[in-house]
Amino acid sequence: MTATITPYRPPQQAGRDGFAQLLHAEWTKFRTLRGWVIAVVIATLLIGGVGVLLPRGGCPGGGGGCVVPHVPIGPGGAAVNDSYSLAGQPLPGDGSITARVTSLTGLIAPDQNFVGPNGPSNTLSPGLVPWAKAGIIITASTRPGSAYAAMMVTGSHGVRMQYDYTSDIAGLPGSLSVASPRWLRLTRSGDVITGYDSADGRHWTEVGTATLAGLTGTVRAGMFATSPLNFTPNFPTYGEPGGSVSDSVATGAFADADLRGGTPGGRWTGQQVGAEDANYNGAPPSGLGFRQAGGRFRVTGSGDIGPVVAGGVNTNYVTGTIEDHMFGVFIGLLIMIVIAAMFITVEYRRGLIATTLAASPRRGRMLAAKAVVIGLVTFVLGSAAVAVCVIAGSQITHAAGTYVLPVSWLTEARVILGTGAMLAVASALALGIGTVLRRSVVAVAAVIVAIVLPYIIGVTGILSATASEWVLRVTPAAGFAIEQSVPQYQQVLGHYGPPDYFALGPWSGLAVLCAYAAVALGLATWLLRRRDAGGAA
Amino acid sequence: MPATSEIPSVDGMEATIEVTGLRKRFGSTLALDGMSFIVKPGQVTGFVGPNGAGKSTTMRAILGLDAPDQGSALISGQPYPKLRRPLSHIGAMLDAAALQPGRTARNHLLWLAHSQGLSGRRVDEVIERAGLTSAARRKAGGFSLGMRQRLGIAAAMLGDPPVLMFDEPFNGMDPEGIIWMRGYLRSLAADGRAVLVSSHLMSELEDAADHLVVAGRGKVIADTSVAELIAAASGDRVTLRTGSRSEVMTVLAHAGATVAATGRDTLAVSGLTAEQVVARLGESGVGFSEISAHRATLEEAYMELTRDAVEFRAEPAEEEVR
């Protein structure tokens, strides 16, 4: 007998085989396991819920007694301190101001433990804080927050050119003495200000040039002095900017003041710019202000011209940041990375990995699809939850009498979407680790050790400050840097530690986390292709 | 059934599984030692052998899950990793227990369908054909092994493939399920599909397989049609009831048969057919009261074939002891 075999011809099917299909499959896998969906929803609710229900910060001694102050905003949009003593004249158009600073002296109040707005202190002893400053300034107006540029001698950072509160350029180094005075000059051409310094009044060096928006018409030029709070940071701990703060006063002595382009016969007029007690709460010592004796001038001031930094160490009001309510991100991350690791390890546990790899023999693409799915889920949910923390949290903080440091909408978007991205990249890293290790328990332990543990070490500072800094630089926990909304300033003493500040900048920190995720996923892909599709031995 | 001289093809490709010289070592264990066979379309090929013969490893190599050290496995002429939308070329069920317990049967099939660009409608079709409609929205964790087998078969059928492969599909099935499965396998072959079914129990394949690949110790011991295997088995014998036992023994031994007494008045004769026994005894005038021919079962034929493989397996261990 001869059998005639008609081979099976499947009817034409409309199916497609591409990355989109793999994404669809992995998404279906994810959404059809109720436990996973519940877990990521809980993570999302925790991020938002902790942010809204457990506010940090707030006014010491209860919210009712605190009033959010009116804080000057600089040209760049940042909250600024702008209080100093000025001896000024109008400058109607282009011109220049030159002066010789012959001495910079100061007084510092005794240390007191910082517990918020600094209390009164009356006994001052001689001394200069590092960023005490005296010099010459051209400012659009004497309204706090105006555009300005200044050349100054500082307590221990030599000559600087500073403008518009956040910019700082170093000039001549070294400290000032009678034998070694400093000549300073600012020239105005329209809205462009150029700063020069000189050690002898003959040889001038250009320090920097600034174009100041809004510097039109008659501006004010003069000599100024001011001195910020004396801040000594302690060992930082999470959410507790430790350190001691005390008042200070600085006096600059000037000679040979020369204004070109000013009103003929104009006189130097003393003026306090900004709140007199911006930094100085005690009874002002005699001499605060401006004195002239012949061609010599003394300007004594207290305060600062510069940005407000987080932690309330250079303000007499309590500050907060938009990320103050993001503590829950850490808990949400913990849940999300566990789910991400288990997204693949349960497949090894159940033997389902064989079905998955039979459906998708191109193994790298399968892993990529998994990473995209878990990444998108955590990004979307995480960003939404962080948006609640930032927007609702800022209002809660404000209502509690705390001044929330303003940031641009771009920065706000970066904090929200960047934190979502951080959660997504951390999940991809966890997925990679899960693929390499294949066992749920081992993989979950590994991702916690890799991401969560360094973060705890970093922000609590349970080791040392140096260890914390390095941990937040070189471990995947560096990714948390994306949360910081206000920058650090070298020209302002501050409590530059977590959670407001990280050792790395926002994007650098996220890049470190991305590098870890790339290495983990690369190793995972290599092993996935090389190994037989079975569970761990 | 005669061997087909030419393997039919689908779209210019052979709808087959071709395994050639597979070798695979796991540590000190040689799991595959030159496994070679071809699974042809339009028939059910049984893949039998004792546990540890290398059946599952071969199937995993066919699906590209385990990489062989040597040799190749081709599906319709292509290695598995080269297949686009692989589930439309070959459907397989290797481990019916490989399920996420918290996911429903339908959702399990749904993600698999989505991976091939197939829709939920196709999922409902295969669920119906596998007889799982009533359980489709229940979590797979609560399924009996028999139901998991049906779910695995539904998954294999998603892509409506011309080649199918099932590893121990009868495991955990009740008698009703076994009968259903046999009919299902035959219907797949009747469609013109190539079907490979493994089992460690030959009896399960009775009435289901057309062709047999018998494996032992990582290679093929026999590759034959079911009819040929049974015919070749030496298990044919004739049992005889007689009052004159010694005379019968003398006559039949003289005729070249092997005769053994199995009771006070019963004898087992091998080497002669029943017709030959009747003729010889009639010629010699020796009487008997009852005669029956016993045809070898597939099971007996298989046991005979694999006995060597199983015994041979024990030898190296004994040598090591010495």
Local confidence pLDDT in tens for the 537 residues of chain A: 445 667 777 665 556 678 999 999 999 999 999 999 999 999 999 999 988 887 555 555 544 456 778 899 999 999 999 999 999 999 999 999 999 999 999 988 776 543 334 444 456 788 899 999 999 999 999 999 999 999 999 999 999 999 999 999 999 998 888 788 999 999 999 999 999 999 999 999 999 999 999 898 999 999 999 999 887 766 554 445 566 777 888 999 999 999 999 888 889 999 999 876 544 444 455 567 888 888 899 999 988 999 999 877 788 788 889 998 898 999 999 999 999 999 999 999 999 999 999 999 999 999 999 999 999 999 999 999 999 999 998 888 888 888 999 999 999 999 999 999 999 999 999 999 999 999 999 999 999 999 899 998 888 877 777 788 889 999 999 999 999 999 999 999 887 877 788 889 999 999 999 999 999 999 999 999 999 987 654
Are B148 and B285 members of one domain? no
Are B63 and B170 members of one domain? yes
Tokens matching residue A240: 């507790």
Q: What is the pLDDT of residue A313?
A: 76
Q: What is the pLDDT of residue A243?
A: 66
At B7, the pLDDT band (50, 70, 90 cuts) reads very low
Contact flag A15-B85 (C-beta cutoff 8 Å): yes
Range of the domain at B16: 9-224
| β-bridge partners, A297 | A254, A292
Q: Give dist(CA A482, CA A495) in Å, integer.
A: 18
Q: Give dist(CA A469, CA A457) in Å, integer.
A: 10
Q: Number of helices and strands (H, E) in chain B? A: 10, 16
Which positions 105-144 of B are in contact with A (Cβ < 8 Å)? 107-108, 110-112, 114-119, 122
Q: Examine residue A235 and state whether it is found in any structural domain, yes or no.
A: yes
Number of domains in chain B: 2
Cα A423 to Cα A156, A338, A452, A509, B204: the distances in Å are 42, 12, 12, 13, 53
Are B244 and B211 members of one domain? no
Q: Examine residue A271 and state whether it is found in any structural domain, yes or no.
A: yes
Given A307, A342, A361, the domain boundary residue is A307
Tokens matching residue A230: 């004396």
Instruction: Identify the three-state secondary structure at position A81.
Output: strand
For residues A391-424, one letter each, b for 16 or more C-beta atoms within 10 angstroms of the residue's C-beta and e for the rest, the string is: eebbebbeebbbbbbbbeeebbebbbbbbbbbbb
Are B242 and B211 members of one domain? no
Are A398 and A278 members of one domain? no
* Residue B154 one-letter amino acid: A
Cis bond before residue A499 (omega within 30° of 0): yes
Are B147 and B253 members of one domain? no
Q: Give dist(CA B50, CA B308) in Å, integer.
A: 11
Residue contacts between A and B (CB atoms, under 8 Å) = 145
Q: What is the CATH number of the domain that holds A207?
A: 2.60.120
- Chain A contact present for B24, CB below 8 A: no
Tokens matching residue A332: 């949400």
| β-bridge partners, A189 | A192
| β-bridge partners, B91 | B164
Q: Which residues fall within 8 angstroms of residue B28, CB to CB, at 6 or more apart?
A: none
Q: Examine residue B2 and state whether it is found in any structural domain, yes or no.
A: no
Tokens 């493994």 sit at which residue? B198
Contact flag B162-A22 (C-beta cutoff 8 Å): no
Quote the crossing angle between the two packed helices A440-447 and A409-437, to the nearest 10°: 140
A475, A429 Cβ separation under 8 angstroms: no
Q: Give dist(CA B256, CA B253) in Å, integer.
A: 5
Are A296 and A327 members of one domain? no
Are A336 and A449 members of one domain? yes
Q: Which residues fall within 8 angstroms of residue B142, CB to CB, at 6 or more apart?
A: B101
A117, A403 Cβ separation under 8 angstroms: no
User: Nearest to residue A503, comparing CAs of A457, A471, A535?
Assistant: A471
Q: What is the pLDDT of residue B14?
A: 65
| β-bridge partners, B35 | B22
Number of domains in chain A: 2
Phi, psi of B33 (to 5 degrees): -130, 60
Q: Examine residue A5 and state whether it is found in any structural domain, yes or no.
A: no
Instruction: Count CB neighbours of B273 within 10 A.
Output: 14
Q: What is the pLDDT of residue B233?
A: 67
- Chain B contact present for A64, CB below 8 A: no
Contact flag B114-A358 (C-beta cutoff 8 Å): no
Q: Examine residue B168 and state whether it is found in any structural domain, yes or no.
A: yes
Tell me: pLDDT of B310 over 70: no
- H/E segment holding residue A107: strand A95-108
User: Nearest to residue B76, comparing CAs of B32, B11, B3?
Assistant: B11
Quote the crossing angle between the two packed helices A363-399 and A409-437, to the nearest 10°: 140
Q: If 0-12 CB within 10 Å is exposed, 13-18 middle and 19+ buried, where does residue A443 land? A: buried
Tokens matching residue B225: 């049609």
Are A303 and A362 members of one domain? no
Chain B residues near residue A27 by CB distance under 8 angstroms = 114
- Chain B contact present for A265, CB below 8 A: no
Are B141 and B118 members of one domain? yes
Contact flag A8-B10 (C-beta cutoff 8 Å): yes
User: Nearest to residue B186, comparing CAs of B168, B211, B203, B161?
Assistant: B211
Identity of the residue in B83, B117, B162 whose CB atom sits nearest the CB atom of A15: B117
Q: Give dist(CA B271, CA B235) in Å, integer.
A: 10
CA angle A499, A501, A504 (to 5 degrees): 120
Are A229 and A328 members of one domain? no
Are B133 and B251 members of one domain? no
B268, B221 Cβ separation under 8 angstroms: no
Are B242 and B173 members of one domain? no
Chain B residues near residue A346 by CB distance under 8 angstroms = 100
Q: In what order do the strands lie in the sheet with B70-75?
A: B29-39, B17-26, B70-75, B78-79
Are A448 and A525 members of one domain? yes
Range of the domain at A221: 80-307
Q: Examine residue A316 and state whether it is found in any structural domain, yes or no.
A: no
Q: Give dist(CA A101, CA A171) in Å, integer.
A: 14
Q: So what's the ipTM on this one?
A: 0.83
Q: How far apart are the first and last CA of chain A?
A: 51
* Residue A200 one-letter amino acid: D
- Chain A contact present for B88, CB below 8 A: yes
At B317, the pLDDT band (50, 70, 90 cuts) reads very low
Per-residue pLDDT reduced to its tens digit, A289-341: 888 888 899 999 988 999 999 877 788 788 889 998 898 999 999 999 999 99
Q: What is the pLDDT of residue B3?
A: 41
Phi, psi of B247 (to 5 degrees): -65, -45
Are A189 and A140 members of one domain? yes
- Chain B contact present for A6, CB below 8 A: yes
Per-residue pLDDT reduced to its tens digit, B94-104: 999 899 999 99
Q: How many residues are listed for chain B in this entry? A: 322
Count of alpha carbons within 13 Å of A262, Cβ hemisphere only?
19
Given B162, B191, B224, the domain boundary residue is B224
Tokens 């004010």 sit at which residue? A220
Are B111 and B197 members of one domain? yes
Q: Examine residue B171 and state whether it is found in any structural domain, yes or no.
A: yes
Q: Examine residue A7 and state whether it is found in any structural domain, yes or no.
A: no
* Residue A443 one-letter amino acid: A
- H/E segment holding residue A393: helix A363-399
Contact flag B95-A354 (C-beta cutoff 8 Å): yes
DSSP codes, B126-154? HHHHTT-GGGTTSBGGG--HHHHHHHHHH
Q: Examine residue B300 and state whether it is found in any structural domain, yes or no.
A: no
Instruction: Identify the three-state secondary structure at position A351.
Output: coil
Q: What is the pLDDT of residue A12?
A: 59
How far is the alpha carbon of A8 from chain B, nearest alpha carbon, in Å? 4
* Residue A343 one-letter amino acid: F
How far is the alpha carbon of B25 from chain A, nearest alpha carbon, in Å? 12
- Chain A contact present for B275, CB below 8 A: no
- Chain B contact present for A361, CB below 8 A: yes
Are A276 and A326 members of one domain? no
Given B224, B245, B266, the domain boundary residue is B224
Q: What is the pLDDT of residue A518?
A: 98
Q: What letter would DSSP give residue B70?
A: E
Lowest pLDDT segment from A486-500, B231-245, B252-266? B231-245
Q: What is the pLDDT of residue B281?
A: 87
Tokens matching residue B114: 């989505």
- Chain A contact present for B284, CB below 8 A: no
CA angle A311, A313, A315 (to 5 degrees): 105
Q: Give dist(CA A223, CA A292) in Å, integer.
A: 12
Q: Examine residue A314 and state whether it is found in any structural domain, yes or no.
A: no
pLDDT, mean of residues B66-71: 95
Are B249 and B203 members of one domain? no
Q: Examine residue B268 and state whether it is found in any structural domain, yes or no.
A: yes
Q: Spell out where B252-298 has E strands.
A: 258-261, 266-270, 290-294
Q: Examine residue B315 and state whether it is found in any structural domain, yes or no.
A: no
Given A274, A307, A340, the domain boundary residue is A307
Tokens matching residue A394: 């800022």
Q: Give dist(CA A184, CA A253) in Å, integer.
A: 13
Q: Examine residue B119 and state whether it is found in any structural domain, yes or no.
A: yes
For residues A127-154, one letter each, b for 16 or more C-beta atoms within 10 angstroms of the residue's C-beta and e for the rest, the string is: ebbebbbbbbbbbbbbebbbbbbbbbbb
A255, A331 Cβ separation under 8 angstroms: no
- Chain B contact present for A258, CB below 8 A: no
User: Nearest to residue B165, comparing CAs of A353, A4, A352, A358?
Assistant: A358
Sign of CA dihedral B263, B264, B266, B268: positive
At B218, the pLDDT band (50, 70, 90 cuts) reads very high
User: Nearest to residue A480, comparing CAs of A334, A318, A307?
Assistant: A334
A432, A521 Cβ separation under 8 angstroms: yes
Q: Examine residue A66 and state whether it is found in any structural domain, yes or no.
A: no
User: Nearest to residue A451, comparing CAs of A424, A428, A465, A430?
Assistant: A430
A247: left (phi over 0), alpha (psi -120 to 50) or beta: beta
Q: Examine residue A6 and state whether it is found in any structural domain, yes or no.
A: no
Q: Examine residue B113 and state whether it is found in any structural domain, yes or no.
A: yes
Contact flag A22-B63 (C-beta cutoff 8 Å): no
Q: Give the strand pairing for A248-260 and A95-108.
A: antiparallel
Are A290 and A350 members of one domain? no
Are A25 and A102 members of one domain? no
Q: What is the CATH number of the domain that holds B46?
A: 3.40.50.300
Given A255, A283, A307, the domain boundary residue is A307
Instruction: Identify the three-state secondary structure at position B303.
Output: helix
- H/E segment holding residue B10: strand B9-10
Q: Give dist(CA B102, CA A285) in Å, integer.
A: 75
Q: What is the pLDDT of residue A40?
A: 96
**What percent of chain B is predicted at pLDDT more than 70?**
89
Are A516 and A452 members of one domain? yes
Are B266 and B131 members of one domain? no
Phi, psi of A532 (to 5 degrees): -70, 150
Tokens matching residue A439: 């066992």
Are A356 and A220 members of one domain? no
